[in-house]
């Protein structure tokens, strides 16, 4: 059975963990073979998707919800793989990059080059809809093998915000990004060092979205032992690691961009079209 686990073990797994295995196996055993096959680069083997089929069977037998977007994604890719094997067009809405026009590029440049860490904030609160938008941005960041191990805490009241000191002050909301450690443990195909990178990518999306919304954001730092009060207050399970955070509020300052070094100072090898 997939992931080195037998059916009985899969039946006992926490649904979130089982779901992560379904995503990882879909990624590693279907997705990465399917798109080359659609482009005519290589054929799908007869066994493609077998592990995912077995996992989805366990999911069904356990009567777990079938209408979740990621479960549907796995089913769609399985169906598409079957279609390709039969020489048919897969029923997928495929997307890919398309260059932005000049005006759109101005927006992208502003987003990437004008975003700054903001550390002074007005008294105005950050609304719920905005927080939801920031979290959606976080979840759509790249994530190793689509494991989706991220979990978040949103601190907004004075009492909540007093639980942790993150070296920035006056912010109205603090999003703490954490991870369900069980998900990485249950997916040994995914290198462990990707774990923190997943969190970093998510927080980067939060700060970019915050900038686009006119919010001030500053990535913050805490050490694991500083999270004790937060963990107790929110009754955070021990298997959730609290990794990093971002302080947010409506900005009340303007700053000089901290200069960056030049690209040729960081490039370890020449990039030359003539080579
Ligand atoms: C992982 C990480 C931790 C950070 N921690 C803090 C922090 O504890 N306090 C703070 O004021 N800024 C913190 N920052 C923000 C950096 O100081 C800031 O990004 C850097 O000085 C460049 O400025 P810019 O974001 O305006 O480009 C952190 C940034 C990162 C990526």
- Distance (angstroms) between ligand 1 centre and the Cα of 225 equals 20
Cβ–Cβ < 8 Å for 55, 75: no
| Residue with CA closest to ligand 1 atom 28 | 219
The percentage of residues in the chain with a pLDDT greater than 90, rounded to a whole number, is 91
168 close to ligand 1 (CB < 6 Angstrom): yes
Best CA proximity match to 150, nearest among 181, 178, 176: 178
Q: At what angle do helices 194-212 and 128-139 cross, to 10 degrees?
A: 140
- Does pLDDT of 275 surpass 80? no
Tokens for 103, please give them: 């005006």
pLDDT digits (tens, 9 = 90+) for 58-112: 999 999 999 999 999 999 999 999 999 999 999 999 999 999 999 999 999 999 9
The CA 245 to ligand 1 mean position distance, Å, reads 11
C-beta of 220 in contact with ligand 1 (< 6 A)? yes
pLDDT digit string (tens) for 43-72? Answer: 999 999 999 999 999 999 999 999 999 999
Q: Is the pLDDT of residue 1 over 70?
A: no
Say yes or no: CB of residue 119 within 6 Å of ligand 1. yes
Identify the band that residue 224 occupies on the pLDDT scale cut at 50, 70 and 90.
Answer: confident
> Would you say residue 241 has pLDDT above 80?
yes
**Residue ranges, CATH 3.40.109.10, the chain:** 102-249
Q: Which atom of ligand 1 approaches the CA of 257 most closely?
A: 26
Tell me: the pLDDT tens digits for 173-221?
999 999 999 999 999 989 999 999 999 999 999 999 999 999 999 999 9
* C-alpha of residue 234 to centroid of ligand 1, in Å: 26
- The CATH H-level (homologous superfamily) assignment of domain 102-249 is NADH Oxidase (3.40.109.10)
Q: Tell me the two tokens of residue 161.
A: 């915000």
pLDDT band of residue 38 (cuts 50, 70, 90) is very high
| Cβ of 114 less than 6 Å from ligand 1 | no
Q: For the chain, what is the mean pLDDT?
A: 96
CA 95 to ligand 1 center in whole angstroms: 34
Nearest CA to ligand 1 atom 15: 219
Task: Give me ligand 1 centre to Cα 248, in Å.
Answer: 13
Question: Is 0.85 surpassed by the pTM of this model?
Answer: yes
Task: State the angle between helix axes of 50-61 and 69-85 in degrees (0 to 180), rounded to the nearest 10.
Answer: 140
């Amino acid at each position: 059975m997939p992931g080195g686990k037998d059916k009985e073990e899969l039946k006992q797994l926490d649904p979130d963990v089982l779901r992560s295995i379904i995503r990882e196996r879909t990624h590693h055993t279907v997705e990465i073979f399917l798109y080359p096959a659609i482009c005519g680069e290589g054929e799908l083997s007869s066994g493609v998707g077998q592990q995912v089929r077995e996992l989805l069977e366990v999911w069904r037998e356990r009567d777990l919800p079938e209408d979740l977007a990621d479960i549907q994604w796995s089913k769609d890719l399985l169906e598409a793989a079957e279609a390709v094997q039969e020489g048919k067009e897969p029923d997928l809405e495929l997307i890919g990059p398309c260059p932005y026009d000049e005006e759109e590029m101005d927006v992208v440049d502003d987003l990437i080059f004008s975003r700054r860490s903001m550390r002074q904030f007005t008294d105005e609160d950050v609304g719920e809809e905005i927080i939801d938008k920031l979290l959606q941005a976080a979840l759509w960041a790249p994530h190793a093998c689509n494991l989706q191990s991220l979990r978040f805490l949103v601190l907004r009241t004075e009492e909540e915000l007093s639980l942790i000191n993150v070296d920035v002050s006056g912010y109205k909301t603090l999003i703490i990004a954490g991870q369900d450690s069980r998900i990485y443990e249950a997916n040994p195909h995914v290198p462990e060092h990707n774990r923190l990178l997943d969190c970093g990518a998510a927080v980067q999306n939060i700060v970019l979205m915050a900038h686009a919304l006119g919010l001030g954001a500053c990535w913050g730092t805490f050490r694991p032992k500083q999270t004790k009060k937060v963990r107790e207050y929110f009754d955070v399970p021990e298997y959730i690691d609290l990794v990093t955070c971002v302080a947010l509020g409506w900005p009340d300052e303007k700053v000089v961009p901290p200069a960056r070094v030049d690209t040729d100072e960081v490039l370890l090898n020449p990039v030359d079209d003539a080579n």
